[in-house]
Amino acid sequence: MISAKFNDTDIHIGDTVRVHSKVIEGAKTRIQIFEGILIRLKGRGENRTFTVRRIGAGGIGIEKIWPLDAKVLVKIEVKKKNSGVRRSKLYYLRDLTGKQAVRV
């Protein structure tokens, strides 16, 4: 199973994660949370990136990609572990709709 480590948190493909990232708007800084399914881990070493997908308003899929070593990442929480994934990339979730698109 493909996995990565961010600080002390182990993340695996198919996990439901909450990504806390720092957003700078003018002179103000805030923490923004993005929750979704981890569908991809790519690269090695300092070039390692991960992609999180969620279903937004109106049933539109939203994907965000972050480098694992990004300074804007504050914390990654694993909300739900998933051990039944047999794929390294979950691109097939892009074609699904409704509840099927958020269940792995």
pLDDT tens-digit readout, 28-85: 999 999 999 999 999 988 899 999 999 988 888 899 999 998 999 999 999 999 878 8
Q: Report which secondary-structure segment, H or E, holds 12.
A: strand 9-12
The whole-number average pLDDT for the span 17-26 is 95
pLDDT at 32: 96
Domains and CATH numbers, the chain: 3-95 (2.30.30.790)
Q: By C-alpha distance, which of 52, 98, 100, 46 is closest to 77?
A: 52
For residue 70, which of 53, 49, 43, 41 has the smallest C-alpha distance?
49
Radius of gyration of the chain (CA): 14
Q: Is the pLDDT of residue 1 over 70?
A: no
Comparing 49 with 5, the larger pLDDT belongs to 49
- Write the DSSP string, 15-42: -EEEEEEEEEETTEEEEEEEEEEEEEEE
Q: Is the pLDDT of residue 103 over 70?
A: yes
Give dist(CA 68, CA 48) in Å, integer.
6
